[in-house]
Amino acid sequence: MIGEASPSLLRTVLIGVALIGLLVLFFQNQPAPVISGWGGSGSATIGERAGTIRGEANPIGAGLGLVTVPQGSPLGTVQAVMTQSYGVGSHAPAEVWGGVDLAVDSDGDGQADPAATMGTPIYATHSGVASVRPDTWPAGNYLAIVNDEYKTAFAHLERYAVEDGEQVQVGQVIGYVGATGQASGPHLHYEVWQRGVNTNPLDFGASTRR
Ligand SMILES: [Zn+2]
């Protein structure tokens, strides 16, 4: 009797183990969760709420690893407008001051909303080392994120969320929008430099185009 029961028991155990194995494989192969909270995909644009990326973990703080090319909006998924475009007005000449000015448009009327803009979190658009320069003129509280190829610069910050020399990752909150330095109202001045050459941030997914 025991000789007959044991193979049956063994079969049951083996089938159980196989089922558990299949379940583990199933869940391991599920796609990573869609992360929202910043405008991190290359096609994400400022001015629309398309800023989601796929990642392996929460990008706020850690988990995505090194993303060396700037991508997406530094204001995340909030509705934003460009209040000064690249290479015009105070942004000329582009080689020196080239950047875009961004502000929050909380009601979607295409106009900057100063109250909603002030204090909005700013997200790193790539990994790098933080360079913190408070109280400069005309950039006010100035911040740059630098890696081997790219530098992104952020001006007029209300305050910082990182320290000078800190290694930051894409999606990490690095500061908050303000109106320090030469600014008529709260906005984020955002620059992208590639190997020392000023480039248009719109080429890196920061755009108000719809
Ligand atoms: Zn500006």
What residue type is 176 in one-letter code?
Y
* Helix H or strand E encompassing 146: strand 140-146
Q: What is the pLDDT of residues 162-183, one digit of tens each?
A: 999 999 999 999 999 999 999 9
Separation of alpha carbons 138 and 85, rounded Å? 17
Q: What are phi and psi of 160, to 5 degrees?
A: -100, 155
- Whole-number Å distance, alpha carbon 51 to ligand 1 midpoint, is 22
Q: Where are the domains of the chain?
A: 1-30, 34-204
The DSSP letter of residue 183 is -
- Whole-number Å distance, alpha carbon 102 to ligand 1 midpoint, is 8
- Whole-number Å distance, alpha carbon 84 to ligand 1 midpoint, is 7
Please state the CATH superfamily assignment of the domain spanning residues 34-204 in this structure. Glucose Permease (Domain IIA) (2.70.70.10)
- Whole-number Å distance, alpha carbon 185 to ligand 1 midpoint, is 11
Q: What is the pLDDT of residues 24-83, one digit of tens each?
A: 555 554 443 333 233 333 333 333 322 222 222 233 334 455 788 999 999 998 999 999
- Whole-number Å distance, alpha carbon 16 to ligand 1 midpoint, is 63
